[in-house]
Amino acid sequence: MPRPIEALIHPCALEHNLRIMRRHAGDARLWAVVKADAYGHGIERVYAGLQGADGLALLDLEEAERVRALGWRGPVLLLEGCFEPRDLELCSRLNLWHAVHCNEQIDWLATHKTNVPHQVFLKMNSGMNRLGFAAPAFRTAWSRLNALPQVDDIGLMTHFSDADALRLGQDGIAQQLAIFAQITADLPGHRSLANSAAILRHATRALSNVADDGVGERLSVAADWVRAGVALYGGSPDYPEHSLTHWDIQPAMTLRSRLVATQQLKTGDTVGYGSQYTAQAEMRIGIVACGYADGYPRHAAGSNDHGTPVLVDGVRTRLVGRVSMDMLAVDLEPVRAAGRNTEIGADVTLWGHGPHQSQLSIDEVAHAAGTIGYELMCALSRRVPVRIDG
């Protein structure tokens, strides 16, 4: 028998989460962000669940080829644009839309030979200071692009640094929103601003702006296109302020395994490397076939003061001791108290959906490990077999 660990991908959860994000985004079209191999879920595995999106957004040209190979004919957006001039050939061939965030990318376009002009999104640096043109370079870049025969429509995009929280103690997006609105006020083109956090928290806020042709249409933060990532996969972008349940979002990935051993501890016995956990009384612990080589975070808390939640046969318990490469230990006392299975072979849910309608959000596990759900999803290890649920 193979080692009992596996990951499950839930297409129904992806569909559900897509519906929820659409509800928040109003009339805006929705890019399902499938970068980083669909946040670790696998592009091919999420494709069925996310087919209802209006477009797929990603970074890697190899991933763009994969979504075309799956038969996706809709828009594909390269969120960081091209990395070198010859990437434009693939953009032309696969009809990829691409972000333009620096002058070099405009230079490359200017010398690119193509019969079909490209749809681009000009990226504004409104304060994140990662990619994009700040004012006034943004207007100059727009004029340069607008003069190129290689360019068809020019969309306008920016990215918020603090859509999930306050920014320096103030409203998280107000300043960037104002900058974007001001610089783009009289420019035509589709707007795209919102990631998951902005969609869930700010989508209906007014972007006081004048849209196409100065018609005076009032846009919201959802604007013309939203870019939904982590929430589609069942991560709350602003945990711990709001949980999955608050947003009515479901885990799209379950990581589960089984007990492969149990130990009876006496008072004073310690568990695992570094003896981080000391039994305060007699207790039973279970050893789970899951470790950091599977992508479970090694920094997940397992001391006497701080534990990380784990489900055993659907009962919530906690990690005890340090996570090792292939194993971790859990407290079986709450499971025994609930009258559920504490024997070798018992079902263990590291995150996602468990038996008896139980659920454990990846955000909670991440939080107890000093990280975010995004990182854990993306870090699922290659050695973990992945199945599609249903």
Determine contact, residues 84/113, Cβ cutoff 8 Å.
Answer: no
- Choice between 226 and 323, CB closer to ligand PLP: 226
Residue 63 CB, nearest distance to ligand PLP (Å)?
13
Catalytic one of 123, 239, 273, 277? 273
Residue 222 CB, nearest distance to ligand PLP (Å)?
13
Helices (H), the chain: 11-25, 35-39, 43-50, 61-69, 87-94, 103-110, 137-146, 174-184, 196-202, 244-247, 333-337, 362-368, 373-378
Residue 383 CB, nearest distance to ligand PLP (Å)?
25
Q: Are strands 97-100 and 118-124 parallel, antiparallel or unpaired?
A: parallel
- Choice between 35 and 256, CB closer to ligand PLP: 35
- Choice between 9 and 79, CB closer to ligand PLP: 79
Residue 278: strand pairing partners: 270
Residue 242 CB, nearest distance to ligand PLP (Å)?
14
Amino acid at residue number 36? A
The DSSP code for 197 is H
Interface residue list for ligand PLP (CB under 6 A): 33, 35, 79, 159, 195-197, 227-230, 237
266 is catalytic: no
Determine contact, residues 97/75, Cβ cutoff 8 Å.
Answer: yes
Catalytic one of 35, 123, 277, 296? 35
Nearby residues of 67 by Cβ (< 8 Å), 6 or more positions away? 34, 43, 47, 56, 58, 76
- Choice between 9 and 230, CB closer to ligand PLP: 230
CA 288 and chain centroid, separation: 27
The phi, psi pair for 128, rounded to 5°, reads -70, -30
- Choice between 5 and 193, CB closer to ligand PLP: 193
273 is catalytic: yes
Residue 24 CB, nearest distance to ligand PLP (Å)?
12
Catalytic residues: 35, 273
